Amino acid sequence: MPEFVRRIPDGDDRERLVCGTCGYVAYENPKVVVGSVVAAGTSVLMCRRAIEPRRGFWTLPAGYLELGETIEEGARREAREEACAEIALDGILAIFSLSRIGQVQIIFHARFAGPASMPSFGAGAESLEVDLFSWEKIPWNEIAFPSVQLSLNEWRRLGAAPLGMPAQNPALDPRGTTKPDAASPEGPL
């Protein structure tokens, strides 16, 4: 079994895991998370997490992109897996760079793919429950991740306006390096 060591490979500028025998470089790259703010009129689809981290807290249908998927395919798959929902994507709502945890999060603006009068959803294996919330009923004190709160704020800000440039990291945390501050819903990621 090869033994990997941390060192700066020739021609590189940072430490990497390098095989001490053959010199193979095992690059460690950020994970891509894809998800959606799924709107049904003035309500939004949310999932109560059945898994860690943040089990029992509310989130958007989202998760890691799989190899061989496009970001659009991944967002639709996550909605199926977590909320048993078929969705149509309207465009990218937000992109967050979280260097602190090695993630890039791409959040779509979406709607249910079926008839608007009868949105179909349910709890998937990774959700304890799934529900539609109007803005006033969103369980703000039970939101799993700061980027969920930022995405919901962007959905609210946008309203019925057409999608433009996606929302990005807050100005106070442009690289996503600051740990979340629970007291600040608009604060760092």
- Whether residue 80 is contained in a domain is answered as yes
Whether residue 20 lies inside any domain: the answer is no
Of all residues in the chain, the percent with pLDDT exceeding 70 is: 94
pLDDT band at 184 (very low <50, low <70, confident <90, very high): very low
Give pLDDT, residue 71: 97
Bin 159: left if φ > 0, else alpha if -120 < ψ < 50, else beta.
left
**CATH (domain of 85):** 3.90.79.10
Instruction: Record the pTM.
Output: 0.86
- Has residue 134 been placed in a domain? yes
Q: Is residue 142 part of a domain?
A: yes
Strand partners, 110: 38, 89
* Residue 167 within a domain: no
Q: Per residue in 56-85, pLDDT tens?
A: 999 999 999 999 999 999 999 999 999 999
Separation of alpha carbons 102 and 31, rounded Å: 6
pLDDT at 161: 79
What is residue 116's predicted lDDT score, i.e. its pLDDT? 67
- The domain tally of the chain equals 1
- E runs forming strands in 65-144: 87-98, 103-112, 127-134
For residue 110, what are the domain limits?
31-158
